[in-house]
A and B are shown apart, each in its own frame.
Chain A
Amino acid sequence: MSKYLLDKFLYTVDRDPDLVERYREDPRGTVAWWEENMANQLLNCHAGERSTWLKFDEREREALSTHDYPALFELGSHPFLCLTLFIAMFERDYDEPLGFQLAYAEALRPWLGKAYPDIAT
């Protein structure tokens, strides 16, 4: 269980235009590359210093690898980070303004009236 690492993935991909496109086109390959090369990178430190312990569990890896944003919501990823990145990837595929955002809400409809997953990291 590594909500922090899910958020770190969403955060580092969202802020990099090339990674946004790469994740859109090849989610499984991008997640595998990211976990191998980026997961333990200490942000804002020089590349020689790395953490040693960060990795996804199988559900997290699969949710990211399949663009499964309802699963990412259920796993407690930060909803703002997840929404922002997925808008960047998929808003363009919808003709109507806010079409993707409304489809996203619809996909999460089973959560209406329930306590949302804890997002504390």
Chain B
Amino acid sequence: MATIAAIIASTHHPFYYRASTAPPEERPPFADEWVAKVEAFRATLTAARPDLLVLVGSDHFHQIWLDNMPQFLVGNAPVYDANWYNEEREFGLPRMRMEGNLDLSNHILRSGLDMGFDLAFSNEMRLDHSVTCPIITLRPQNDLPVVPVYTNIFAPPMPQPSRFVALGKALRGMVESWESDLRVAIIGTGHLSLELGGPRQFGPHGPDPVFDERAVRWIAESDVEGALAEVTLESLALPGNATHGFMDFLLMMGVAGEGVKADYVDTLDLFHTMEAYFTWYPNGVPA
């Protein structure tokens, strides 16, 4: 059976690529600290020696549109092109291309459907920055095959927060039951408090530092019960109008397992939104 080499949850910040690759005279003042933190975070994946990455994220109205909106969707393609014209335009993101793994895609779809998750699939899927940001930060050599899993945290009506936890828990079982010798890292990206297109956007900190502090603790301790006691689809609108992206963190808490403390936790208070990085090693910390 496959081995889960690492479980990683992270914010995804599309400005990182430009901030970290700009010439020194054009770098923002926070870039060096940001790069140092990302490189330390990257080392937690490198140490796990993964062969394949399952990437959990959410399309930002690039390929997935309101005329045909899946709640949960699994990529089932041999190759994934990635990043879009308007991400190139706004964030300076490069075009990318990743290999897929059809065997694991098919296994996740079959076992997910049989476990009661009516997963949609895509045989031709162009990925966006929700899953390319962690490639840029955690595996910039982009040398591993991937299986993308998209969630709807963007267009109401959305699934309940508890459903994200349940899918995460099931996803872990799906990967662990895959007949393979490969070492799989499951990487998911979401948001802490975040405002996009509203009056609290692009402030000196995230729109709700109090929520962020609590959310980081929930994730670091995988405190599913504590988080679900307070987080609802309605309450997630309060810390910022794009904070439903926190549900992808809930999914990753489901993958990690209730009450399992992360082996690595780091944060960076940036303008606009707080960065947060978490790694679990379910089979022991790599030597």
Contacts and interface: CB of A to CB of B under 8 A. Distances in A.
A87 B90 contact: yes
Given A87-B90, A105-B198, A116-B241, A11 B61 contact: yes
A116 B66 CA distance: 20
Given A43-B65, A43-B67, A116-B241, A79 B85 contact: no
Interface in A93-121: 98, 101-102, 104-106, 108-112, 115-116, 119-121
B34 interface: no
B199 A112 contact: yes
A85 to B, nearest CB: 8
Interface of B: 60-62, 65-68, 84-86, 89-90, 154-157, 196-203, 237, 241-242
Contacts of B84: 15
A120 B156 CA distance: 5
A17 B199 contact: no
A1 interface: no
A101 B93 CA distance: 19
Interface string A29-47: 0000000000000111000
A111 B237 CA distance: 13
A78 B61 contact: yes
4 residue pairs, one from A and one from B, having the closest CB atoms: A79-B197, A83-B197, A108-B199, A120-B156
Given A11-B61, A79-B197, A120-B157, A84 B242 contact: no
Contacts of A43: 65, 67
Contacts, number: 78
A81 interface: yes
9 contacts: A15-B84, A83-B197, A84-B86, A105-B198, A111-B198, A112-B200, A116-B198, A119-B156, A120-B156
A101 B201 CA distance: 8
Given A110-B199, A116-B198, 12 more contacts: A7-B66, A11-B65, A14-B86, A17-B89, A73-B198, A79-B242, A81-B197, A83-B196, A83-B201, A104-B201, A108-B198, A109-B199
B196 A42 contact: no
Given A4-B66, A87-B90, A120-B156, A80 B61 contact: yes
Chain A: interface size category: 35 or more
B152 to A, nearest CB: 12
Given A14-B86, A78-B155, A120-B156, A98 B241 contact: no
Nearest to A121: B66
Contacts of A81: 61, 197
Interface in A47-96: 73, 78-84, 87-88
Nearest to B237: A116
A81 B29 CA distance: 29
B241 to A, nearest CB: 6
Contact of B202 (A11, A105, A119, A121): A105
B91 to A, nearest CB: 10
A73 B201 CA distance: 14
B242 A88 contact: no
A10 to B, nearest CB: 9
A78 B60 CA distance: 11
Given A14-B86, A88-B89, A116-B237, A102 B202 contact: yes
